Structure 1
Amino acid sequence: MLAKDLQMNTPAKESADLASLLSIHRDEIIARWAKKIQNFPNTRYQKFSLGDISDWLDRDLKCILLTLDDLRNSPVETCLRESALRYLSEGFSMYEVSKGLFLFKQAVMPILQTAFPSGSPAAYEAIAKIDTSVSELICQYEYLFSEEFRHLAVYDERQRLAESESLRRTMAALLQKLNLDEVLEIVCSEACRLTNTTGSAVLLLEDEWLKVSISIGNPLPVVQRIPVTDTLAGQSLNLGKPIVENSPSEHLHAYHLNPDLKSLLIVPLTIKGTNIGVLDVVNKPGRFTEDDIRIMGLFADQAAIAIENARLHKQSEQLAVLEERQRLARELHDSVTQSLYSASLYVTAAQRALQKEKIDVAADNLQNLRNMTHEAMLDMRLLIFELHPPILEKEGLVTALRTRLESVEARAGVRTEFQVEGNGQIPLYIETELYRIAQEALTNVVKHAKAQQVKVHLIFNSKFFRLRVWDDGVGFDSTTADQSGGRGLTGIQERIKRINGVLKIESTPGKGTELEVSVEI
């Protein structure tokens, strides 16, 4: 740019041209500036790498470029505040920051000497503007380094730490819940608490609609679903950012035309770049603030993870139920149906023997028929218990296993022993998986082990839960069975994985079997 061109420009235009010039040479300026600062003696800068210093100077240069426009505008204030907080957190003094800013002029001089003729009015004007900008920044930093600002910064930091701790506790509580309804209720309750609002709702995405999955407080949504298109919630999803309406009556949303609605904050629920819905909070006393938007943005990220986790758990449960039904159908065909067919053959054989007056043959067939129907009854009893664990949900694992031993193993002529050590509660989904594991082990005892005795031992501890099933049956080669997936070991291992448990099996042919499952609580 020629000097005479600069002289013809207005002051605002000159500042803009100077800012553009510095922006073009940004990397060169920062590199030269950082080296000068790092070599400045007896300052904290010497303790940091050129990369760290360059990061700080990049923000300072941004502030300088903004001041060439207007020091009072909001971007400059935000930029300066963030820089001051960083310098303060690293222990810099105002003297050190001032020295660093004064060195900016030396770093930028080679650029100015190339751009403007030496000694020209344009060159003097550019240098004067840079001096003014640096001086103004130093004045602003002096306030930001004052005791008043330090107190404000400490308060702000404590506030954010408190919010972070609150979010951490909330997330821990959410991840412990796998029931979707419970998760949604916690999300809405915590959203109201964090923003001091009177109501909240979660709308989950279904095709091109947002369905109200839960709502609490007041006012409540007046519709149960809204389209994604042409609605505030849909706009929030499409933009990927919160939307605040402190006068929301003119726009289409779930509370449309509800006279009790005063203010509305909608935050998108997104996980791994995929929208799953929105979180609403309504009617904050006064108005929603930037802090509300910030804290709800952080909370929504965590809420989305918890909601998706609960939904995936529900889907896995549904899949597990389907697989269980298919397995029971195969069991029914392979055991009970075959037993009944064999029984019908023994009946026919007995009839023919009686017709030929072969009493001994008929008696043998009737005995085989009796054994076969007894086996079919045992198989049916096992299938009934597998299809619906009795009183598991109502009275828990201990009562369910005791009832199972009395109803199946004891009736099959196996001596049973049941011990419970300690007491405690474990989540229902873990209880269900443990019951199924014990069920499979006990079924092996009845159908394959030829055992005379079986012992079931439950151990409750504050840190873990342990289940042991022992029998004195024929045993098996655990290595071979593990490789082949026989004796139901594949199903047991899959259930162990679902609850993050540890499985231990000890068995030797002729010496019985012991199965142990440990789960951390």
Structure 2
Amino acid sequence: MIRCILFFKDRTHKPDSMMDNKILLQKAAAAIRAQKQSAAMQLAEMFLERQPQWHKNESCTELAAHISHFIELICDCMHDSTLAPLARFFSSAALEKVKRGIQLSDVLESVMLGKLCLSTAIMRELPSGEERDAILTAVELLYIDINKITGEKYSELLTQQRNAEHERTKLLLEATRSITNFTDSQAALDHLARVISETLSQGFCIIFLRTGGTKGLSPLASWGHESEGYQRCFDGVRLCTKGSTITAIGGKTFGLCSLNSEGFAVAQDIPKQINSESMAMFPIYSSTNCLHGIAMVGSATPDYVIAPKQKELIEGILHTVSATVELAASVKEKERQLKESESLRRVANLLLQHPETKIHDVHTVICDEARSIVQGTGSSILLKEGDYLHHSCGTGTPQPPISTFPIATTKYGQILQQRKAVIIKDAQKEIPEDQRSNLVQAMLVVPLIECGNPIGLLLISNKENGFDFIDKNIMELFAGQATLALRNVTLAEQSDKLVVAEERQRLGRELHDSVTQALYAVTLCADAASRSMALGKEKVATEQLHALRGMAQQAMRDMRSLIFDLHPPELENEGLVGAIQARMNSVEIRSGLNAKMFVNGEERRLAHSTEEEMFRIAIEALSNATKHSHANNVSVTITYEPELVSMSIKDDGKGFAIEQLPTGGMGLRNIRERANKLHATLSIDSTENDGTTICVVVPVTR
């Protein structure tokens, strides 16, 4: 290897006027071509020694073959006295070298080593003398221009690369920082879609993620659509992980489906845009390297093609924020589940814990909550009655055009018989005109099933972007809850009717046992007094009239008691204590009984049903004390404690033997039944000729 070329020191040497520069370079080219193989091998050995990091994957022979091509290119430039071929070569080769990370200093060193090898080849081929020195000088001057071209080209590319890397890093940092700063998961996803869309001219981005129990991908965030209508079209599109309609970056394929006619049009257009490279799909992988979603990115600019650098940038952004996207999507899914659970809980509390709710109110609540859960605009209930479905309730719009649908001949009857929820994407085409409103677009129809038998349908209409698998799942759960509520309120109404019937029977018995008998006795006594007067027995007649007055007064007391028991207004207005006190003032005290009321603890209102049952127990006990025990004194004591309320009714009447406890006329059976309804503890303490005490302890919650 030549370590030094002495003639390089004399850069003031000029060739003879008879030897112009063009001829010198042509002779140099001829000399180099003669030594090309040895020069290429020598230069290959130098590269492997000096720059092993860039050539470690090539053998010396392979590298020499590449260098031989480059040497031939240099010779062409020398022969034709132009650097244009070399400039074109640098334009293509420089970009590849910059991508590999080769620095400008490495490139300039390669040029210097090439000049050294070519100069050595000239010296080997040509004899020493003035002409060879002139040729070497011409080659050196040529390499000055080569160095300049190389430096400028690589400097320009390196600057562009540095600027691009700076912009890429800036975007990545902004995307990472901005999305992690959002506390609202939806806002974070929307901002990410915006950042990605801005990497393209007039770009747009839709982020599809897994949601709920479905294996498909739903659009959860988007940015950059030309219009709201276009965005709604995309919102009606779903991606299926099993399909081959479109291919994402990385080779994974997806199928397309739509929830409405607008979404169908977009689904048909997406494969064309992907094939033309104006749109691309980028997988979003979770932290466990499972597919978590897809970013669909495109441009509204006509004939736009997404460049490889842009694809690389978008992939980098998604890779950087994939964990945050997964977290945001998880939060959004939890929010959706929480909303659904809260709605179901609200319905359960409202419908199942309040048996006094009227059935029409229950229907209204079901319709309102169904619309709210899946964001429909109208909902209605069709209940089965014989061979027909009757429209029982509806809220919002649209509503069915008629109130009765034959099960055997209508679309709704068909769905009822199939007993499966159905999503109707285009109601105007799928439902006959006489069975649907002209305003209905999409519809979700869910059967109401009770003990395996369909009892009706729940209809929800016109969700903005159509109903999907998640809506269907949640409404099937809701329908089960609604069916229980309908059953509960129906049983409650039946129970109320039985209670009314029992109360009527009780009042009939009371009227027969007390008022009717008293009035019959009054009639008999009046007849007897009349006969005594006719016979001139005035003293006997007077006694009989006194007895008649007592019987009439007793009948009035019995009637007043029955009227008060039938409708005690104080119970609703004043509560349990006020109602019992009013009863004693109206009946017991007027009857001459010494009746007193005592309250221990802090008085508070209880559930209406609890207060009513305790009031009925109290008046049964008071009636027993007045009618049967012949008591002179009676007291009612109510004690309020945090988790229970106790009530004691005590009289000083004739009492009875516990072992011979009566079960009929004195109303003790009614007291037991009411105590059982309250899950209360009942105790009855009585001794003959020493009064009776009835105590009931009722568990309550505050």
Partner secondary structure for residue 449 of structure 1 = coil
Correspondence for 1:431 among 602, 606, 611: 611
Is 1:512 aligned with 2:512? no
The answer (yes or no) to whether the contact 2:648–2:693 under 8 Å persists in 1 is: no
Partner secondary structure for residue 440 of structure 2 = coil
Q: Tell me: CA distance 1:281–1:417, structure 2 relative to 1, closer, same or farther (3 Å).
A: farther
The answer (yes or no) to whether the contact 1:469–1:516 under 8 Å persists in 2 is: no
* Deviates most, 153-162 or 385-394: 153-162
Correspondence for 1:444 among 624, 627, 633: 624
CA distance in 2 between counterparts of 1:274 and 1:461 reads 46
Equivalent runs, 1:4-153 vs 2, <5 Å:
72=242, 143=290
What TM-score comes out, normalization by structure 2 length? 0.49
Is 1:400 aligned with 2:579? yes
Aligned partner of 1:199 in structure 2 is 378
User: 1:154 deviation in Å?
Assistant: 7.7
Residues 306-359 of structure 1 deviation map (CA, whole Å, 9 limit, x = unaligned) = 221111011011011012112212222222222222222112222222333333
Partner secondary structure for residue 487 of structure 1 = coil
Partner secondary structure for residue 492 of structure 1 = helix
Partner secondary structure for residue 290 of structure 2 = helix
User: 1:415 deviation in Å?
Assistant: 2.3
The answer (yes or no) to whether the contact 2:377–2:461 under 8 Å persists in 1 is: yes
CA distance in 1 between counterparts of 2:458 and 2:645 reads 37
Partner secondary structure for residue 529 of structure 2 = helix
The answer (yes or no) to whether the contact 2:410–2:435 under 8 Å persists in 1 is: no
Q: Tell me: CA distance 1:480–1:246, structure 2 relative to 1, closer, same or farther (3 Å).
A: farther
CA distance in 2 between counterparts of 1:255 and 1:488 reads 60
Correspondence for 2:537 among 346, 352, 358: 358
Q: Which amino acid aligns with 1:214?
A: C
CA distance in 1 between counterparts of 2:681 and 2:393 reads 37
Correspondence for 1:216 among 395, 411, 431: 395
CA distance in 1 between counterparts of 2:406 and 2:552 reads 60
Correspondence for 2:518 among 329, 335, 339: 339
CA distance in 2 between counterparts of 1:271 and 1:504 reads 41
Is 1:175 aligned with 2:366? no
Q: Which amino acid aligns with 1:299?
A: F
CA distance in 2 between counterparts of 1:161 and 1:413 reads 63
CA distance in 2 between counterparts of 1:444 and 1:211 reads 51
Aligned partner of 1:456 in structure 2 is 636
CA distance in 1 between counterparts of 2:497 and 2:390 reads 21
CA distance in 2 between counterparts of 1:351 and 1:462 reads 63
CA distance in 2 between counterparts of 1:410 and 1:183 reads 44
CA distance in 1 between counterparts of 2:364 and 2:659 reads 47
Aligned partner of 2:591 in structure 1 is 412
CA distance in 2 between counterparts of 1:449 and 1:155 reads 70
* Deviates most, 359-368 or 386-395: 386-395
The answer (yes or no) to whether the contact 2:343–2:369 under 8 Å persists in 1 is: no
Higher relative contact order, structure no. (Cα contacts within 8 Å, ≥ 6 residues apart)? 1
Q: Which amino acid aligns with 1:477?
A: A
The answer (yes or no) to whether the contact 1:263–1:284 under 8 Å persists in 2 is: yes
CA distance in 2 between counterparts of 1:232 and 1:429 reads 44
CA distance in 1 between counterparts of 2:392 and 2:514 reads 44
Q: Which amino acid aligns with 2:374?
A: T
Choose between structure 1 and 2: higher helix proportion: 1
The answer (yes or no) to whether the contact 2:650–2:691 under 8 Å persists in 1 is: no
Residues 76-125 of structure 1 deviation map (CA, whole Å, 9 limit, x = unaligned) = xxxxxxxxxxxxxxxxxxxxxxxxxxxxxxxxxxxxxxxxxxxxxxxxxx
Aligned partner of 2:412 in structure 1 is 233
How many residues align? The count is 385
Residues 127-181 of structure 1 deviation map (CA, whole Å, 9 limit, x = unaligned) = xxxxxxxxxxxxxx96369986975678656754653454234323322121133
CA distance in 1 between counterparts of 2:677 and 2:594 reads 32
Correspondence for 1:189 among 348, 368, 390: 368
CA distance in 1 between counterparts of 2:683 and 2:401 reads 55
The answer (yes or no) to whether the contact 2:588–2:594 under 8 Å persists in 1 is: yes
CA distance in 2 between counterparts of 1:252 and 1:339 reads 70
CA distance in 2 between counterparts of 1:391 and 1:251 reads 58
User: 1:423 deviation in Å?
Assistant: 4.6
CA distance in 2 between counterparts of 1:254 and 1:493 reads 60
Q: Tell me: CA distance 1:369–1:422, structure 2 relative to 1, closer, same or farther (3 Å).
A: same
Equivalent runs, 1:318-397 vs 2, <5 Å:
318-393=497-572, 396-397=575-576
Q: Which amino acid aligns with 2:490?
A: R
Correspondence for 1:271 among 445, 450, 467: 450
CA distance in 2 between counterparts of 1:413 and 1:354 reads 32
CA distance in 2 between counterparts of 1:233 and 1:460 reads 55
Is 1:248 aligned with 2:443? no
Aligned partner of 1:288 in structure 2 is 467
The structure that has the greater radius of gyration is 2
Q: Which amino acid aligns with 1:475?
A: G
User: 1:411 deviation in Å?
Assistant: 1.0
The answer (yes or no) to whether the contact 1:226–1:253 under 8 Å persists in 2 is: no
The answer (yes or no) to whether the contact 1:503–1:515 under 8 Å persists in 2 is: yes
Aligned partner of 1:469 in structure 2 is 649
User: 1:403 deviation in Å?
Assistant: 2.4
User: 1:288 deviation in Å?
Assistant: 0.7
Aligned partner of 1:20 in structure 2 is none
CA distance in 2 between counterparts of 1:306 and 1:254 reads 32
The answer (yes or no) to whether the contact 2:400–2:436 under 8 Å persists in 1 is: no
Q: Which amino acid aligns with 2:636?
A: V
Q: Which amino acid aligns with 1:143?
A: C
User: 1:73 deviation in Å?
Assistant: 5.5
Aligned partner of 2:194 in structure 1 is none
Q: Tell me: CA distance 1:479–1:294, structure 2 relative to 1, closer, same or farther (3 Å).
A: farther
Partner secondary structure for residue 505 of structure 1 = strand
Aligned partner of 1:422 in structure 2 is 602
User: 1:453 deviation in Å?
Assistant: 2.7
Structure 2, unaligned runs of 5 or more: 1-240, 245-287, 294-321
User: 1:517 deviation in Å?
Assistant: 4.4
Correspondence for 1:258 among 437, 451, 463: 437
Q: Which amino acid aligns with 1:288?
A: F
